[in-house]
Structure 1
Amino acid sequence: MEKSCYSDLEAWVFEDDAQFLDQIATLIPSTISSSVVTLVCMTVVCIIFMYNLFTVCVATFSIMSVCIGVFGFLAMWGIDLDPISMATTIMSIGFSVDFPAHASFHYYRTGIESGGKWSPEQRIYHVLAAIGFPLLQCGISTILFVFCLLFVPSYMSEVWLKNI
């Protein structure tokens, strides 16, 4: 029989947050491994859909720099890696990668569809005409959502604002 915390009473101490406190020790290794696996998966997706090695390298480097930038700024602001900051970091990196990824892919596809005849300016015009307004709507709705969090005095709101 195992010894309990209070062996004379044969009792254990119950902690409501024990299921979360046990996971905090694994947050840093889990976050690092998740970030690396995500970067590798995104690189594979880019290789599948974009056949240009230079474009794949630029996309991979962009994703990596966004991750490093987000984690670097959080460290600079003194925000430790906890379940709340990890969740908001994942979402903010998703926002940071999503919009440029759509624009880059449309720019790349425009070059293929035009047979290389369009100038970069024409390709950018075509991209902005196709997805510029939806991206603007997404950006504005995100900013309005984040603006509302300014009025909520909580740790989660502070971390989310700093992440965005």
Structure 2
Amino acid sequence: MRIKFELVRSLSIQNMIIGAGIMMIVSFIFIPNILCAFWVALSIISIEAGVVGYMALWSVNLDSISMINLIMCIGFSVDFTAHICYAYMSSSAKTPDDKVRESLYALGLPIFQGSISTILGMIALLLANNYIFSVFF
């Protein structure tokens, strides 16, 4: 059992580093401002660290199921921040406040709707008495 945990731990760390690294590279390529791409990359690391911290708080064991969830978390964390940063940099507004206002006006509702649809889709899984779903939540 100890060998299995060591293998899962090393694979989890390796996969999180590779996944976050690839998402950072993609962010640096597609977001036209290096500072915004840096903040997207920092948000990926921050959210991933928060999820790992909550796993410890909620006594979720590190296994293959939680490893998959940690990798999926990278994709969830980059989506909204990358879209907002790209909208901010693509905005034609003159002042930073106007750029923030324009990007949130353009993407605030779609991001909110995407969040709600994801949450509603996952609520059905709450009723299932399964280890995979309990780790996911």
Which category of TM-score, normalised to the shorter sequence, fits these structures?
Answer: 0.7 to 0.9
CA distance in 2, matches of 1:59, 1:23: 33
Structure label with greater radius of gyration: 1
Counterpart of 2:84 in structure 1 is 103
Cα distance change, pair 42–123 in 1 and its aligned pair in 2 (3 A) = same
Say which SS state the counterpart of residue 92 (structure 1) adopts. Answer: helix
1:128 and 2:73 matched: no
CA distance in 2, matches of 1:158, 1:94: 20
TM-score by length of 1: 0.70
Contact 1:74 1:80 in 2 (8 A): yes
CA distance in 1, matches of 2:20, 2:64: 21
Q: Name the amino acid aligned to 1:143.
A: I
Q: CA RMSD in A?
A: 2.2
Q: Name the amino acid aligned to 2:36.
A: T
Contact 1:66 1:97 in 2 (8 A): no
1:158 and 2:134 matched: yes
| Structure with greater helix percent | 2
Say which SS state the counterpart of residue 62 (structure 2) adopts. Answer: coil
Contact 2:12 2:67 in 1 (8 A): yes
Counterpart of 1:56 in structure 2 is 37
CA distance in 1, matches of 2:9, 2:74: 17
Q: Select the structure with the greater relative contact order (CA < 8 A; seq sep ≥ 6).
A: 2
Cα distance change, pair 93–40 in 1 and its aligned pair in 2 (3 A) = closer
CA distance in 1, matches of 2:113, 2:69: 21
Say which SS state the counterpart of residue 108 (structure 2) adopts. Answer: helix
Q: Name the amino acid aligned to 1:89.
A: L
Q: Which ranges in structure 2 are unaligned for 5 or more consecutive residues?
A: none
Total equivalences in the alignment:
135
Q: State the identity %.
A: 35
Q: Name the amino acid aligned to 2:73.
A: S
Contact 2:8 2:62 in 1 (8 A): yes
CA distance in 2, matches of 1:48, 1:153: 42
Counterpart of 2:119 in structure 1 is 143
